Amino acid sequence: MSVNPKELKYTREHEWALIEGNRAKVGITDFAQSHLGDIVYVDLPPLGKEIKKGETLLVVESVKTASDVYAPLSGKVIEINNALSKAPEKVNRDPYGEGWMVIMEIKDPKEAEELLSSEDYESYLSTIS
Amino acid sequence: MLKRTPLYELHLKLGARMVPFAGWEMPVQYRGIVEEHLAVRQKAGLFDVSHMGEIRVKGPKALEFLQHMTTNDVSRLKVGQSQYSTVLNEEGGIKDDLIVGHLKEDEYFLVPNASNAEKIFAWFKEHEIPGAEITNESPIWGEIALQGPSSQEILQKVVPFDLNNLPYFHLRESQIERVPVIISRTGYTGEDGFEIFSPWDETPKVWEILMEEGKGLPLEPCGLGARNTLRLEMRYALHGNDIDETTNPIEAGLGWVVKLGKGDFIGREVLLKVKAEGPKRKLVGFELLEQGVPREHYKVLKDGEEVGMVTSGAYSPSLKKGIGLAYLRIEYHQPGTELEIQIREKLVRAQVVETPFWKSGTVGKIRAKEV
């Protein structure tokens, strides 16, 4: 299993966020992609979608199951990774790189403080696996 | 408490992800469902199906008993032949689908589904007649399915007879390195293959022998995930999803295993009526015309009106699109009919297609050879 990058923030639902200013790039963690197995479709949200933290942001379909991905932060979807519509397997191959899913404009920067650091996320993983 | 097959420890060693299924702790995948699926289509895969049930019926009245309890015509089976069949309730609903093998003179070996084995055994006992002795052998037998175009090449190395003499839907007793086995040329994948029954405790030995012989082919261990996508591409029904006690074989597209002319059997009266009136709904295959994955219980719509429900759905690794089975109101069952599947809040376009979805399976070739 690859290391969870230190510069990212994490949720207990296995999303990650790369926060830069008022924008956050969002994806799912290596743990999540490994548990879902072969990802065959990423049902991306429409641009401009406004969403609250914890609501369903998008759905990832693996061969096995459909899985909700929750918004790690409140805000608006301003960019989606269209490359995933042709190559959803990028999420399996490179969950922290080419497998990113959306970029959000953050509404409330304070919410970011509630997210987990990579160390916290890894100790959380050790309690569930 | 979940039951474990004799291969449980081997699965853990192979890095399988274990899940509960029909009361058993079973491997859902090892390296990945798509990889395992394609291994079976191209070379070979090995499945632990020890959870499946085994029931033996023997005696001078065994044939008469099975003619009454199952829908296919058992009298057509010569010794060494087997057939796919269904067991119905009095209302014509499907209690289980199973394979009936004519193992010896006056002796039949039946393979019901794991989740139905106890129920079918109890149902048989309830209807038992003198001269037909029914034994539940589920605890005695482990079962391994070797499936894929290379199956014969692998198995031939370890059995003492020519597998060319075991055509599709035939079975016989034999041995693999002194382990007594029953070998059946059947499967649930659409490829050539064998289902090998071995004594419970000796099943790990058979697994290891086959894995060793298949090394370098490669022979992939395969889990329930690939088993499901492989069977769905062939439109093989899954009891509990596509068929159950509320569905009859005619609407399920299994009319070919119902022989109404063979004499009386449980459920026959109802089926005669269904056949005379015509079924009101039909189980059909559909494919998505857009991206997405259909799943069981999703609604099927036609011009905004609900006309059916998905019973099985998946991403097809061979066809690289979403496929599924659904019961549709009879007027919509024709191939080419356009429909919508409701996937969450979206309506995704789909169309009814001819099945099997996967048409180049090696099972077609061995079936042709048999005739």
Give the integer Cα–Cα distance in Å for B80 and B171. 5
B positions 202-261 inside 8 Å of A (CB): 225, 229
Dihedral sign from CA coordinates of B225, B43, B292, A17: positive
Query: Do A63 and B33 make contact, defined as CB atoms within 8 angstroms?
Result: yes
Query: Do A38 and B292 make contact, defined as CB atoms within 8 angstroms?
Result: no
Read off the CATH number of the domain in which B349 is found: 2.40.30.110
- What distance in Å separates residue A9's CA from the closest CA in chain B? 28
Query: Do A64 and B28 make contact, defined as CB atoms within 8 angstroms?
Result: yes
The answer to whether residues A107 and A73 touch, using CB atoms and an 8 Å cutoff, is: yes
Q: Is residue B122 part of a domain?
A: yes
- Choosing among A64, A85, A93, which should be mutated to test the B contact, i.e. which has the most B CBs within 10 A? A64
Q: Is residue B360 part of a domain?
A: no
Give the integer Cα–Cα distance in Å for B314 and B158. 36
Confidence (pTM):
0.94
Q: Is residue B8 part of a domain?
A: yes
B344: left (phi over 0), alpha (psi -120 to 50) or beta: left
Is residue B317 located within the same domain as residue B292?
A: yes
Q: Is residue B311 part of a domain?
A: yes
Task: Give the pLDDT score at B370.
Answer: 53
A positions 10-39 inside 8 Å of B (CB): 37-38
Candidates A37, A38, A41; nearest CB to B291: A41
Domains in chain A: ranges and CATH: 9-108 (2.40.50.100)
Is residue B146 located within the same domain as residue B67?
A: no
ipTM over 0.90: no
| Reported confidence tier of residue B366, pLDDT bands at 50, 70, 90 | confident
Query: Do A40 and B315 make contact, defined as CB atoms within 8 angstroms?
Result: yes
Task: Give the pLDDT score at B69.
Answer: 98
Query: Do B34 and A64 make contact, defined as CB atoms within 8 angstroms?
Result: no
- How many domains does chain B fold into? 3
Is residue B17 located within the same domain as residue B132?
A: no
Residue A1 has pLDDT above 80, yes or no: no
- Choosing among B21, B31, B33, which should be mutated to test the A contact, i.e. which has the most A CBs within 10 A? B33
| Reported confidence tier of residue B342, pLDDT bands at 50, 70, 90 | very high
Q: Give me the sheet containing A9-10, strands edge to edge.
A: A9-10, A15-20, A23-28, A102-106, A75-80, A50-51
Candidates B32, B35, B295; nearest CB to A66: B295
Q: How distant is the alpha carbon of residue B262 from its chain centre?
A: 24
Is residue B24 located within the same domain as residue B170?
A: yes
DSSP character for A1? -
Residues from chain B contacting residue A85 (CB–CB below 8 Å): 291
- What distance in Å separates residue B68's CA from the closest CA in chain A? 39
Dihedral sign from CA coordinates of A103, A105, A109, A111: negative
User: How confident is the model over A27-60, as pLDDT tens digits?
Assistant: 999 999 999 999 999 999 999 999 999 999 999 9
Residues from chain A contacting residue B225 (CB–CB below 8 Å): 37, 63-64
Alpha helices (H) in B111-258, listed in sequence order:
117-126, 151-156, 203-214, 224-233
Packing angle between helix B224-233 and helix B33-42, nearest 10 degrees?
Answer: 50
Query: Do B32 and A37 make contact, defined as CB atoms within 8 angstroms?
Result: yes
Task: Give the pLDDT score at B269.
Answer: 97
Give every CB contact of residue B99 below 8 A, 6+ residues apart in sequence: B82, B83, B84, B85, B110, B111, B184, B186
User: How confident is the model over A59-112, as pLDDT tens digits?
Assistant: 999 998 899 999 999 999 999 999 999 999 999 999 999 999 999 999 999 999
Closest CA in chain B for residue A85: B291
**Three-class secondary structure of residue B99 per DSSP:** strand
Residues from chain B contacting residue A37 (CB–CB below 8 Å): 29, 32-33, 225
User: How confident is the model over B233-290, as pLDDT tens digits?
Assistant: 999 999 999 999 999 999 999 999 999 999 999 999 999 999 999 999 999 999 999 9
Q: Give me the sheet containing B82-88, strands edge to edge.
A: B82-88, B94-104, B107-111, B55-58, B133-136
Give the integer Cα–Cα distance in Å for B118 and B124. 10
Q: Is residue B252 part of a domain?
A: no
Residue B210's domain spans which residues? 3-48+139-233
